[in-house]
Chains A and B, each alone.
Chain A
Amino acid sequence: MLNIKCPYCGDRSQKEFAYGGDGTITRPKLNQEISDEAWDNFVYLRKSPRGKHIELWHHIAGCRQWFKVERDTTTHEIFRTFKPEEEF
């Protein structure tokens, strides 16, 4: 069970969080003209990197904030956690 530092609440057990997928995806802007391929990439295609990965987590049984976690997918080491508006 991971130990995740919520940027708002501090260290908490994984049990309090929900995983939210790839944290580097940007949703296309509203009303933007976009090709079928680009849209499909956004909706369906995700990288599954071995090693460092920036992902979204949701503190679902806590402050209910979404935030980002930089984690190694093989060792599960968490390098940092940060608020979505912060740079990565």
Chain B
Amino acid sequence: MSQNFRLNTGGLINRDKPIEFKFNGKKYIGYEGDTLASALLANGIHLIGRSFKYHRPRGFFGAGVDEPNAKMQVEINGCSEPNINATEIELVNGLSATSQNCWPSVNFDIGAINNFLNRFFPAGFYYKTFMWPKSFWYRVYEPFIRKAAGLGIASLEKDKERYEHKYEYCDLLVTGSGPAGLASAYAAAKNGAKVILAEDKPRYGGSLLTDDVTIDNLSGKDWSEKIISELKEMPNVIVKNRSQVFGYYDHNMMVMFERTKDHLEKKTKYTPRQRLWYIRAKEVLLSTGSIERPIVFGNNDTPGVFLSAAAKEYMKVYGVLIGKKPIIFTNNDSGYETAIEFKKNGVDPVVLDTREDQNSELINEAKDLNIMIKFSYAVIVAHGYKKVKSATIGKLNKDKIDFENTEQIDCDSICVSGFWTPTVHLASQSGNKLKFNDSIDAFVPDKSKQNEHSLGAANGTFTLQDTLKNSFNTGSEVSKSITKKDEKIQIPNTNERKYSAHDKFWCSPLPKGKNYKRFVDFQNDVAVSDIEIALREGYRSIEHVKRYTTLGMATDQGRTSNLNGLQLVANVEKKIVPQVGHTTFRPPFTPVTIGTIVGREVGKEYMPTRKTPMHHWHEKNNAVWVDAGAWKRPRYYKRGNENLFEASKREAKNVRNHVGVCDVTTLGKIDLKGPDAAEFLNRVYTNAWLKLPVGKARYGVMLREDGIVMDDGTTTRISENHYHMTTTTAQAANVLSHLEYYLQIVWPKLNVNVVSTTEQWAGAAIAGPKSRDLLAKLFPKIDVSNEALPFMGYVEGDLFGVKARIFRISFSGELAYEINVESDFGLFMWEKIIKIGEEFNIQPYGTEALSTLRIEMGHVAGPELDGRTIPYDVSLEGLVSKKKDFIGKRSLAKEAFNKADRQKIVGLVPLDRKSSIPEGSHLVENKNAKLPNPKLGHVSSSCWSVENNNPFSLAILKDGKNMIGKKLFAVSPLKNTSIEVEVMSSHYVDHEGKRVRS
């Protein structure tokens, strides 16, 4: 059986290029230019999946994005992806597809028992059944639902493919390359507008590829090719196929994905699989066309039932017959186009027209071709389980709610045409409230909320002549207002056949006493009876009916089911469709892969990596990294088999005993200049700044307006009107924005400029009793004595020819200095410090040792300044000026902040002097108390005190200062520890701060 349903000639496929592919393990041949669907149909394969709820056999129904059934697990290039629409994926060598939602196979599916139990699975089944008993939820219901839910299987492997993002700006974005899209894009391009024309299919032309029309005496296909080739020549036009605009967002931000790889014969490593385009368009022209509506009848989901336009597309584009004995079931003239196409290809169709005997160009042509037409007839029910074998048809009576003269006729396919539904999804997403157009029984866009226009069939215009006229004019008008150019375009002559009026018939009545399923929504298995139940149970709002029945909630967004569902609700409720209203369309219009949305922002590209100028030195010296925001900082330098604990202890001890050096480049640095800089600092910080002399640094704390500590750091007066501020690594960006806010919005009269210089300066902290000796060797020309360069002093120096700033500041609590040089010399500085420091036993130290040093000194950092503490909580009351006002001061007067038992920072030592206290432990009086055990505080930072050789922690404790000397328990249910601790001062080492001043 090899391509038995392929026509001998015709179609736009490349018959010289056979392509081998697999379906459910079996090999088949198709042609280049096929979709997976057309290639399977050429091989006579119709049974391709099982339905979601009842596991009924399902076949192809559409030929593009309208397809509700043909979701497959597809493997290309070693990647397996679920829920791929077989009507949209192009055939390539080696493609392998499998059916979903069936076990053990699509031919014999155990789950199909649901079909015979279907009276137990009505609308709202889950809501009704899984309510009680409560204890059943975890053990019985949830596992059952999880097993039944979903369609394909998501891969657990890492996606090896590459996805890209692209930003583009244009005057006009045109979505869809049918007649409306081509005409409007062409007119706008001629006016010099920057145009992007996006087509979701591989071939341009839309309906022009399948409609029997001529434009300027060219066939639709030839005319579209001519326009596309002209557009491609124009420098102001981007023409993209395989590109689906799927989202319409604020301010004309359109999002589109482009399939760039899967269809390629030769794939290179760096070809992205898909590209996501963010397009900001001044104007958007929506030429998205329309989708044929089904007519609903008994067992209308049997494989072999197609949309009539899809059947025509398979013949005209792919040279494939969907059947050799078709019934065309139509309520309008479109069905005749399909019938005529069948006839031309040697197949005799039977046309059932729900209307009474009619005359129109198309009907007459069909009559002339001796096509059998039965007027006032309808398909009542299709027969056949895995494929249509026959159909019961009946003659409709006058009011069309009943029928007579039933007969059963043989057929192998049924093509339905229930007229056309404009594709209004993008217009609706843009905020356009749709309006109902009675003459086409469908919603069309109403007033634009954004700069958009719907054209052609998307706007309910179904004749080519009108579509071209309106589209050329709109393209021209819209672009003219942007480019101020007005190139006159001759609107081409067209030749098309006029349609006669369609019939509103949309659903066949059931034979008496029969309850054949009549499906409205194929993908979610919603039948007419389900919607009727929902209405009987009192659901009225269409949004509620939708959620209760899941009508239109599948990945096809109800493209073929929406209007029929509304029609049904309207009939039952005795309303008209516009009174029922419609549900909201939301992006994405078609499913988008997560990979495409994420783009290149995966793995180490998830965020930028910031490296200091000394990064490679650290790397060479076995630094183990820790992330500090985007920065990489050495956590410790591993020697031999050391672990974190041993290494950080060694490094911290070396600082206390000799000298260590730490890369502090990552600290935020802000340059402040201007005559009002001192006044500004005085308002920003809690302490006094007006009298800081040039050449001196001062420690400062800044608050938010609510009194909570925002950040701390030192600021140095470099010259009269020039200050150098440092912030913590984490808060650098926030502090800059904070300063800019106050300077620009609150106190714009202050004459100060601020700019971040974090990346301009490389910083090294040298700390330890030997740091002065080392500094003297680094800067032999400078007097570094305690008198000349005291604690909080500042001096500029020459580091072997490099200009350096020297600050005598200390985070470790030791005698310490911080040296800054321009970043380009950072490594030079570092290497000099290491080399010259050798004689003083210098060792580099990482953030872990840095933490140890500051914790045992009782210096607060991020874990204490956690957005919940005020200066009084963390022993910073000495820095809060009583005399002047500053940001957040008024909040410090709040009652809660001044309560006697307010939380305070304290130190903790375990009674056994051995057990490390996990950070985050809760402090309680009685570890065995009944839950909830009253919490007195929490452990914020923990270290191993190298000075005292036992664990030491900082904690925020209720009424902390009065608790000193008391014994409490630090309990951590996470770590399952409960440690008895003694409360003490937070300053564990060098209470009086002698060392920093030595």
Contact = CB atoms under 8 A, between A and B. Distances in A.
Interface of A: 1-3, 13, 18, 20, 27-28, 30-31, 34, 36, 39, 42-44, 56, 58, 60, 64-66, 75-76, 78, 84-85
B748 interface: yes
B619 interface: no
B831 interface: no
B153 to A, nearest CB: 33
Nearest to A39: B890
Contacts, number: 57
B290 to A, nearest CB: 28
Contacts of B741: 20, 56, 58, 66
B280 A58 contact: no
Interface of B: 167, 249-253, 278, 280, 431, 449, 683, 705-706, 736-737, 740-741, 744-746, 748, 885, 890-891, 893-894
B431 A30 contact: no
Contacts of B431: 75
A42 B894 CA distance: 14
A64 B250 contact: no
A34 to B, nearest CB: 6
Contact of B251 (A3, A28, A64): A3
Contacts of A58: 737, 740-741
B193 to A, nearest CB: 17
Given A66-B740, A75-B449, 13 more contacts: A2-B251, A3-B250, A3-B251, A3-B280, A13-B278, A31-B885, A44-B706, A64-B740, A65-B740, A78-B251, A84-B744, A84-B745, A85-B748
3 closest Cβ pairs, A-B complex: A3-B251, A30-B885, A66-B744
B744 A3 contact: no
B280 A13 contact: yes
B253 A1 contact: yes
A60 B737 contact: yes
A1 B683 contact: no
B740 A84 contact: no
A10 to B, nearest CB: 12
Contacts of A84: 744-745, 748
A56 B890 contact: no
A66 B741 CA distance: 7
B251 to A, nearest CB: 4
A76 B250 contact: yes
A43 B740 contact: no
B890 A3 contact: no
B251 A65 contact: no
Nearest to B278: A1
Nearest to B169: A11
B740 A76 contact: no
Nearest to B733: A60
Nearest to B251: A3
A42 B890 CA distance: 11
Nearest to B167: A13
Contacts of A30: 683, 885
12 contacts: A3-B251, A3-B253, A3-B280, A36-B893, A39-B890, A43-B891, A64-B740, A65-B744, A66-B744, A66-B745, A76-B250, A84-B748
Nearest to A85: B748
Nearest to A18: B737
Nearest to B895: A36
A27 B706 CA distance: 13
A20 B431 CA distance: 26
A16 to B, nearest CB: 12
B935 to A, nearest CB: 26
Contact of B894 (A2, A36, A56, A64): A36
A2 to B, nearest CB: 5
B194 to A, nearest CB: 15
Contacts of A34: 890
A86 to B, nearest CB: 12
B890 A1 contact: no
Contact of B745 (A2, A3, A42, A56): A56
B623 to A, nearest CB: 30
Contacts of A44: 706
A6 to B, nearest CB: 13
Contacts of B736: 64
Contacts of A27: 705, 746
A70 to B, nearest CB: 15
Contacts of B893: 36
